[in-house]
Structure 1
Amino acid sequence: MSRRSRRNRDLLDAYHVGGDRRARDILIEENLPLVRSLAGRFTGRGEQVDDLVQVGSIGLIKSVDRFRVGQGDLASYAAPMILGEIRRHLRDRAALLRPPRDAGNRPRLAVLPLDNDGPYVSEACRTELERGEDRALLDPGLSSLDDRARLVLTLRFYGDLSQDRIAAEVGISQGHVSRVLDRSITRLRTRLGAS
């Protein structure tokens, strides 16, 4: 377990077991670099990075509040929630700006469907359902990995971070990240193939 993971675990215990609200604040502040790292990959989409960090911080706060001992490493638990908040924000913002399909070349205001049968809702629901099914298939295999391997896989496949960025985030070399990914994927394939 890395020093950061131990520190997170101690602060989580102080908050969840001891009720220490200051430990919660410290924990959130010390994990903001993870939020910045994940938000940074969404630059160039018409949003300021600071706004994305603010939105992603909501996911971090939810993760800290919902985390329970035994769920592994906080960073690997928090990354999907942080990314989910950022993606939801971008999707909602894009839906507000998207013109209707029949607009042609005429500039008009976009009108969103008021019911739940609109294309944005059904596409988002289908995507989330597919992701949920994938996660349900992977959960048994992921639980067999150590905290670092889960974190590396989460950052790579849920966070879409490069191996260099993962190395910087986790504090190991890019070569080590590559080896962890190879070993973990092989282990997951073996474990999922057996079940």
Structure 2
Amino acid sequence: MLIDMSTSQSGAPAEQAPPTRRRHDDAPDTIALFTRLAALEDGPERDILRDELVTAWLPMAHRIAGRFRDRGESIEDLKQVAALGLVKAIDRFEPDRGAFESYAVPTITGEVKRHFRDRMWALRVPRRVQELRNKVRVARRELTQTPGTPEPSVADIAAHTGLTEEEVGAGMEALESFSTLSLDAELSADDDGYSLADTLGASDASFDTVVDREAAKEGLRRLPERERAILYMRFFEDMTQSRIADQLGISQMHVSRLITRSCARVRDDVLGQRGSRRDAGGRSVA
């Protein structure tokens, strides 16, 4: 004879047992320990009890750290970060506010996420841009789940996420900011391959020459005409002092003295101009 277990002996439907919250194997029963911890003042006894709680809940912290494996950080480092989050959760937990696991899981998860946000980026990227990057990354994965699906366009990602195309562009640029290439990284697989360093420009020393010439112009204009002519012949026409002396009908020694004196006057004039600008602006413009 079959018995209907859904009804009581009186024929009324049996009251169903309330669903129980699933507990993980790494969620120990430490309510009594937390109650004792909350009642203790700072001291050796509290430190010992705190260490006992950390040891009891550490497997849970390691489980949470395992969710973030294969994201560019070693699992051991992630476990250390999760353990730090666990310690913070234990220190801040109030036993009369509910179950510790419900409080600790988001606390530890947030600590690990902050680690990725603040420590793992090769370039410092604003948090808003990091969030855009994550949305774009998830959207690209969702839009290419079907094999053979072409790479989604900016417009496709914008329509999928509700972002503007400008925001999608910022998120896609941030995808390249999580890690950097070495300057020795090969950019070509050909026999005549080149590295990233080969594509970088070098400082042009001619810029310093341009600055010096512009700075000396005013001082040169203030020189007497004969001294300007001597400097022009010496430094622009590459004439020797002897040839300049023969052309002007003076001694080579006199030409040498005029060149030295003219250069000193121009140099003093440039330095005087820079000193005036520094005094007026409160800082050096050199």
TM-score scaled by length of structure 1: 0.48
Which one has more relative contact order, counting CA pairs under 8 Å at least 6 apart? 1
Q: If each structure's helix is expressed as a fraction of its own residues, which one has the higher value? A: 1
TM-score scaled by length of structure 2: 0.33
Q: Which has the larger radius of gyration?
A: 2
